[in-house]
Structure 1
Amino acid sequence: MKVNVFDTHVRTRDGRYLHFDVLIEGNDQGRANQFAQDWMAERGLQGDDIEQSHCQFCHSEPAHPEVAAAISSKGYFIIPLQGC
């Protein structure tokens, strides 16, 4: 499986900075943005707490088996980078 990586930066209203990658099949930025919102909501960050500065396509890469399994079941995989 080949996945596309969306580099995502979020500043929460309480001043925290989050940086993470959203990995999905396909190049639909709207889906990547929705998955980023879903992932943040799972961590207790409600929609009104989030000011998403951008979620943009970065590159494509072959998927590690763990990543491929998550994408097959949930539609996405998140790689936390900063502040997560």
Structure 2
Amino acid sequence: MEVSVWDTYVPREDGKVMHFDILVPSDLKDTNTIFGFGKEYLTSKSFKTGKLSSEECRFCHMQSAPPGVVEGIQLDGYFIIEMENCS
């Protein structure tokens, strides 16, 4: 499966910046849906974060997804890869 990778940086209440990628099917182009996935992910965190919009989340590239990512996308519609300050 080909996926689009959306590079995302969201400020945390404690001053740190979360860095994570939102992976979605490559044919999904609706930014409101993609940002909604990011917002859904942020609600799962135990700390408060800033907003998520086109300033914090941008299309980065497309790539082939490994099986675990494909399973997550089939289940939830998206997959998050946590990079920095996500816990």
TM-score (norm 1): 0.86
Segments ≥4 residues shifted beyond 4 Å: none
Q: Residue 8 of structure 1: CA displacement? A: 0.4
Identity of aligned residues (%): 34
Q: Residue 58 of structure 1: CA displacement? A: 0.5
Matched residue type, 1:44: S
Matched residue type, 1:22: I
- Give the structure with the higher percent helix: 1
Alignment of 1:1-84 (within 5 A): 1-25=1-25, 26-45=28-47, 49-52=49-52, 53-84=55-86
Q: Residue 42 of structure 1: CA displacement? A: 1.1
Q: Residue 54 of structure 1: CA displacement? A: 1.4
- Give the structure with the higher percent strand: 1
- Partner SS, residue 50 of structure 1: coil
Structure 2 distance, partners of 1:54, 1:38, is: 15
| Aligned partners of 1:32 and 1:55 also within 8 Å | no
CA RMSD of aligned residues (A): 1.5
The total of aligned residue pairs comes to 82
Structure 2 distance, partners of 1:33, 1:75, is: 12
Unaligned runs of 5+ in 1: none
TM-score (norm 2): 0.83
- Partner SS, residue 14 of structure 2: coil
- Partner SS, residue 51 of structure 1: coil
| Aligned partners of 1:13 and 1:51 also within 8 Å | no
